[in-house]
Amino acid sequence: MSDSRGPGGRRRSWAELLAGRVKRQKYNPERAQKLKESAVRLLRSRQDLSALLLEVEGLQCKKSCLSNLIDCGSSEAHANHSSSFIGSALQDQASRLGVPVGVFSATMVASGVGQICAAPVDPSHPVLLTVEQRKKLSSLLDVAQYVLAHNMFSRLSFCQELWKIQNSLLLEAVWRLHVQSIVSLQQLLESHPDMRGVGAWLFRNLCCLCEQIEASCQHADVARAMLSGMFTTRRVAVDVLQRMLIFALDALAAGVQEESSTHKTLRAAGRFLLR
Protein backbone atom coordinates (compact mmCIF):
# COMPACT_ATOMS: atom_id res chain seq x y z
CA MET A 1 0.00 0.00 0.00
CA SER A 2 1.20 3.51 -0.79
CA ASP A 3 2.87 5.50 1.98
CA SER A 4 0.42 8.30 1.21
CA ARG A 5 -2.40 6.30 2.84
CA GLY A 6 -2.92 5.63 6.51
CA PRO A 7 -4.87 2.94 8.39
CA GLY A 8 -7.99 1.75 6.61
CA GLY A 9 -6.84 3.16 3.29
CA ARG A 10 -7.44 6.77 4.39
CA ARG A 11 -5.26 9.27 2.55
CA ARG A 12 -2.78 10.84 4.94
CA SER A 13 -2.61 14.59 5.38
CA TRP A 14 0.56 16.58 4.83
CA ALA A 15 0.91 16.96 8.60
CA GLU A 16 0.85 13.18 9.05
CA LEU A 17 3.39 12.60 6.30
CA LEU A 18 5.74 15.20 7.75
CA ALA A 19 5.27 13.86 11.29
CA GLY A 20 6.17 10.38 10.09
CA ARG A 21 9.29 11.72 8.46
CA VAL A 22 10.37 13.53 11.64
CA LYS A 23 9.78 10.55 13.93
CA ARG A 24 12.14 8.28 12.04
CA GLN A 25 15.58 8.66 13.51
CA LYS A 26 17.52 6.30 11.26
CA TYR A 27 17.85 7.38 7.65
CA ASN A 28 16.48 4.78 5.26
CA PRO A 29 17.07 5.76 1.60
CA GLU A 30 14.34 3.50 0.26
CA ARG A 31 11.84 4.74 2.82
CA ALA A 32 12.82 8.36 2.22
CA GLN A 33 12.31 7.93 -1.53
CA LYS A 34 8.85 6.41 -1.00
CA LEU A 35 7.88 9.29 1.28
CA LYS A 36 9.09 11.81 -1.31
CA GLU A 37 7.09 10.08 -4.06
CA SER A 38 4.00 10.07 -1.82
CA ALA A 39 4.47 13.77 -1.11
CA VAL A 40 4.77 14.55 -4.82
CA ARG A 41 1.60 12.57 -5.61
CA LEU A 42 -0.26 14.36 -2.84
CA LEU A 43 0.99 17.74 -4.09
CA ARG A 44 -0.21 17.03 -7.63
CA SER A 45 -3.61 15.89 -6.42
CA ARG A 46 -4.31 19.11 -4.50
CA GLN A 47 -6.39 21.69 -6.34
CA ASP A 48 -6.12 24.44 -3.72
CA LEU A 49 -2.45 25.21 -3.10
CA SER A 50 -3.27 28.05 -0.71
CA ALA A 51 -5.08 25.61 1.57
CA LEU A 52 -2.17 23.21 1.30
CA LEU A 53 0.33 25.86 2.42
CA LEU A 54 -1.89 26.85 5.32
CA GLU A 55 -2.17 23.20 6.36
CA VAL A 56 1.60 22.86 6.53
CA GLU A 57 2.55 26.29 7.88
CA GLY A 58 -0.40 27.04 10.12
CA LEU A 59 -2.39 30.26 10.44
CA GLN A 60 0.71 32.43 10.91
CA CYS A 61 1.61 32.02 7.24
CA LYS A 62 -1.43 33.96 6.00
CA LYS A 63 0.65 37.07 5.39
CA SER A 64 3.85 35.40 4.28
CA CYS A 65 3.02 32.16 2.48
CA LEU A 66 3.94 31.74 -1.18
CA SER A 67 0.41 32.04 -2.50
CA ASN A 68 0.44 35.64 -1.27
CA LEU A 69 4.01 36.34 -2.38
CA ILE A 70 3.35 35.22 -5.94
CA ASP A 71 -0.27 36.44 -5.89
CA CYS A 72 -0.81 35.33 -9.47
CA GLY A 73 2.06 37.53 -10.56
CA SER A 74 0.57 40.80 -9.34
CA SER A 75 2.73 43.88 -9.80
CA GLU A 76 2.15 44.83 -6.16
CA ALA A 77 3.61 41.54 -4.92
CA HIS A 78 6.71 41.90 -7.05
CA ALA A 79 7.26 45.49 -6.04
CA ASN A 80 7.78 44.22 -2.50
CA HIS A 81 9.50 40.89 -3.18
CA SER A 82 12.25 40.21 -5.71
CA SER A 83 12.45 37.02 -7.77
CA SER A 84 15.41 35.90 -5.67
CA PHE A 85 13.39 36.32 -2.45
CA ILE A 86 10.50 34.32 -3.88
CA GLY A 87 12.93 31.71 -5.19
CA SER A 88 14.35 31.31 -1.70
CA ALA A 89 10.84 31.00 -0.28
CA LEU A 90 10.01 28.32 -2.84
CA GLN A 91 13.09 26.36 -1.84
CA ASP A 92 12.25 26.63 1.85
CA GLN A 93 8.62 25.60 1.34
CA ALA A 94 9.58 22.62 -0.82
CA SER A 95 11.90 21.45 1.94
CA ARG A 96 9.10 21.71 4.50
CA LEU A 97 6.77 19.70 2.26
CA GLY A 98 9.41 17.09 1.52
CA VAL A 99 9.15 17.45 -2.28
CA PRO A 100 11.80 18.37 -4.88
CA VAL A 101 12.01 22.14 -5.28
CA GLY A 102 11.77 21.78 -9.08
CA VAL A 103 8.41 20.02 -8.81
CA PHE A 104 7.09 22.46 -6.23
CA SER A 105 8.18 25.56 -8.18
CA ALA A 106 6.65 24.16 -11.36
CA THR A 107 3.36 23.47 -9.56
CA MET A 108 3.23 26.95 -8.06
CA VAL A 109 4.00 28.72 -11.35
CA ALA A 110 1.48 26.57 -13.25
CA SER A 111 -1.12 27.41 -10.61
CA GLY A 112 -0.35 31.11 -11.10
CA VAL A 113 -0.71 30.81 -14.88
CA GLY A 114 -4.03 29.05 -14.38
CA GLN A 115 -5.37 31.78 -12.10
CA ILE A 116 -4.30 34.50 -14.54
CA CYS A 117 -5.97 32.75 -17.48
CA ALA A 118 -9.13 32.12 -15.44
CA ALA A 119 -9.70 35.87 -14.98
CA PRO A 120 -12.41 37.39 -17.22
CA VAL A 121 -11.24 38.01 -20.80
CA ASP A 122 -12.54 40.23 -23.57
CA PRO A 123 -15.14 38.04 -25.36
CA SER A 124 -14.13 39.60 -28.68
CA HIS A 125 -10.55 38.31 -28.16
CA PRO A 126 -11.10 34.84 -26.65
CA VAL A 127 -7.52 33.57 -27.07
CA LEU A 128 -5.71 36.77 -26.05
CA LEU A 129 -4.79 38.14 -22.65
CA THR A 130 -6.03 41.49 -21.38
CA VAL A 131 -3.51 44.23 -20.58
CA GLU A 132 -3.78 43.45 -16.86
CA GLN A 133 -3.34 39.72 -17.46
CA ARG A 134 -0.19 40.43 -19.49
CA LYS A 135 1.30 42.47 -16.64
CA LYS A 136 0.60 39.73 -14.13
CA LEU A 137 1.94 36.99 -16.39
CA SER A 138 5.10 38.99 -17.11
CA SER A 139 5.82 39.29 -13.38
CA LEU A 140 5.15 35.60 -12.80
CA LEU A 141 7.43 34.59 -15.65
CA ASP A 142 10.23 36.68 -14.12
CA VAL A 143 10.05 34.30 -11.15
CA ALA A 144 9.93 31.28 -13.48
CA GLN A 145 13.05 32.46 -15.32
CA TYR A 146 14.87 32.94 -12.01
CA VAL A 147 14.13 29.43 -10.71
CA LEU A 148 14.97 27.97 -14.12
CA ALA A 149 18.36 29.69 -14.11
CA HIS A 150 19.03 28.28 -10.62
CA ASN A 151 17.97 24.70 -11.42
CA MET A 152 14.87 24.94 -9.25
CA PHE A 153 12.23 24.30 -11.93
CA SER A 154 11.05 21.10 -13.62
CA ARG A 155 9.79 21.75 -17.14
CA LEU A 156 8.22 18.28 -17.33
CA SER A 157 6.23 18.80 -14.12
CA PHE A 158 5.24 22.27 -15.34
CA CYS A 159 3.86 20.86 -18.60
CA GLN A 160 1.92 18.17 -16.75
CA GLU A 161 0.38 20.75 -14.42
CA LEU A 162 -0.53 23.11 -17.28
CA TRP A 163 -2.50 20.46 -19.14
CA LYS A 164 -4.67 19.97 -16.06
CA ILE A 165 -6.08 23.44 -16.78
CA GLN A 166 -6.26 23.02 -20.56
CA ASN A 167 -9.86 24.23 -20.81
CA SER A 168 -9.00 27.62 -19.32
CA LEU A 169 -5.48 27.94 -20.78
CA LEU A 170 -5.24 30.92 -23.15
CA LEU A 171 -3.19 30.58 -26.33
CA GLU A 172 -1.34 33.86 -25.75
CA ALA A 173 -0.14 32.57 -22.35
CA VAL A 174 1.22 29.45 -24.07
CA TRP A 175 2.96 31.60 -26.68
CA ARG A 176 4.58 33.81 -24.03
CA LEU A 177 5.87 30.73 -22.20
CA HIS A 178 7.49 29.73 -25.51
CA VAL A 179 8.90 33.17 -26.33
CA GLN A 180 10.40 33.66 -22.87
CA SER A 181 11.96 30.17 -22.95
CA ILE A 182 10.05 28.83 -19.96
CA VAL A 183 8.97 25.84 -22.04
CA SER A 184 9.00 25.48 -25.83
CA LEU A 185 5.75 25.02 -27.68
CA GLN A 186 6.99 21.73 -29.08
CA GLN A 187 7.94 20.37 -25.64
CA LEU A 188 4.61 21.45 -24.21
CA LEU A 189 2.62 19.80 -27.00
CA GLU A 190 4.65 16.59 -26.91
CA SER A 191 4.08 16.27 -23.16
CA HIS A 192 0.31 15.98 -23.65
CA PRO A 193 -1.02 12.43 -23.16
CA ASP A 194 -3.45 12.77 -26.10
CA MET A 195 -1.66 14.03 -29.21
CA ARG A 196 -4.78 14.07 -31.37
CA GLY A 197 -6.73 15.88 -28.70
CA VAL A 198 -4.09 18.56 -28.15
CA GLY A 199 -3.77 19.00 -31.93
CA ALA A 200 -7.49 19.70 -32.15
CA TRP A 201 -7.25 22.13 -29.21
CA LEU A 202 -4.40 24.03 -30.85
CA PHE A 203 -6.19 24.15 -34.21
CA ARG A 204 -9.36 25.63 -32.69
CA ASN A 205 -7.32 28.28 -30.91
CA LEU A 206 -5.33 29.14 -34.03
CA CYS A 207 -8.56 29.51 -36.02
CA CYS A 208 -9.77 32.03 -33.41
CA LEU A 209 -6.41 33.79 -33.67
CA CYS A 210 -6.71 34.05 -37.46
CA GLU A 211 -10.12 35.67 -37.07
CA GLN A 212 -8.59 38.26 -34.72
CA ILE A 213 -5.98 39.19 -37.34
CA GLU A 214 -8.52 39.61 -40.11
CA ALA A 215 -10.86 41.58 -37.86
CA SER A 216 -8.16 44.25 -37.39
CA CYS A 217 -8.61 44.28 -33.63
CA GLN A 218 -6.51 46.49 -31.36
CA HIS A 219 -4.35 43.46 -30.48
CA ALA A 220 -3.77 42.46 -34.12
CA ASP A 221 0.00 43.02 -33.83
CA VAL A 222 0.19 40.56 -30.93
CA ALA A 223 -1.96 38.07 -32.83
CA ARG A 224 0.28 38.32 -35.94
CA ALA A 225 3.42 37.82 -33.85
CA MET A 226 1.84 34.78 -32.21
CA LEU A 227 0.76 33.20 -35.48
CA SER A 228 4.10 33.86 -37.15
CA GLY A 229 6.04 32.45 -34.19
CA MET A 230 3.91 29.34 -33.84
CA PHE A 231 4.17 28.37 -37.49
CA THR A 232 7.96 28.37 -37.26
CA THR A 233 7.63 25.31 -34.98
CA ARG A 234 7.74 22.30 -37.31
CA ARG A 235 5.46 20.12 -35.16
CA VAL A 236 2.83 22.88 -35.16
CA ALA A 237 3.14 23.79 -38.85
CA VAL A 238 2.79 20.22 -40.15
CA ASP A 239 -0.17 19.32 -37.94
CA VAL A 240 -2.01 22.61 -38.51
CA LEU A 241 -1.41 22.46 -42.27
CA GLN A 242 -3.01 19.02 -42.43
CA ARG A 243 -6.01 20.16 -40.41
CA MET A 244 -6.28 23.43 -42.35
CA LEU A 245 -6.35 21.58 -45.68
CA ILE A 246 -9.21 19.40 -44.46
CA PHE A 247 -10.97 22.48 -43.07
CA ALA A 248 -10.54 24.33 -46.38
CA LEU A 249 -11.82 21.42 -48.48
CA ASP A 250 -14.87 21.03 -46.25
CA ALA A 251 -15.53 24.78 -46.44
CA LEU A 252 -15.25 24.83 -50.23
CA ALA A 253 -17.54 21.83 -50.52
CA ALA A 254 -20.10 23.61 -48.34
CA GLY A 255 -19.74 26.86 -50.33
CA VAL A 256 -17.79 29.28 -48.18
CA GLN A 257 -19.07 32.87 -48.21
CA GLU A 258 -16.54 35.62 -48.94
CA GLU A 259 -15.75 37.71 -45.82
CA SER A 260 -17.37 35.11 -43.58
CA SER A 261 -15.48 34.07 -40.44
CA THR A 262 -14.42 30.85 -42.20
CA HIS A 263 -13.13 32.78 -45.20
CA LYS A 264 -11.18 35.18 -42.97
CA THR A 265 -9.68 32.29 -41.02
CA LEU A 266 -8.48 30.53 -44.17
CA ARG A 267 -7.11 33.76 -45.67
CA ALA A 268 -5.07 34.62 -42.55
CA ALA A 269 -3.80 31.07 -42.06
CA GLY A 270 -2.84 30.74 -45.71
CA ARG A 271 -0.87 33.98 -45.57
CA PHE A 272 1.36 32.62 -42.82
CA LEU A 273 1.59 29.01 -43.93
CA LEU A 274 2.69 29.95 -47.45
CA ARG A 275 5.46 32.31 -46.33
**For 16, how many CA atoms within 13 A lie in the half-sphere containing its CB?**
11
Give the pLDDT score at 192: 92
Structure confidence by residue, pLDDT tens digits, 47-83: 566 666 656 555 444 444 455 545 544 544 444 457 7
Structure confidence by residue, pLDDT tens digits, 149-208: 999 999 999 999 999 999 999 999 999 999 999 999 989 999 999 988 888 898 889 888
pLDDT band at 210, cuts 50/70/90?
Answer: confident
d(CA 173, CA 28): 43
Q: Measure the CA angle with vertex 234, ends 260 and 253; round to 5°.
A: 30
The helix-helix angle for 14-23 and 29-45 (nearest 10°) equals 170
The answer to whether position 148 is within a domain reads yes
Q: Residue 218 sits in which domain range?
A: 194-274
Indicate whether 198 and 151 sit together in one domain.
no
Mean pLDDT across 210-228: 79
d(CA 120, CA 125): 11
The answer to whether position 39 is within a domain reads no
Indicate whether 166 and 198 sit together in one domain.
no
Q: Which of 108, 138, 170 is the endpoint of a domain?
A: 170
The answer to whether position 73 is within a domain reads no
Strands (E), the chain: none
The answer to whether position 256 is within a domain reads yes
Indicate whether 155 and 214 sit together in one domain.
no
Indicate whether 86 and 166 sit together in one domain.
yes
Indicate whether 205 and 269 sit together in one domain.
yes
The answer to whether position 89 is within a domain reads yes
What residues form DSSP beta bridges with 11? Answer: 5
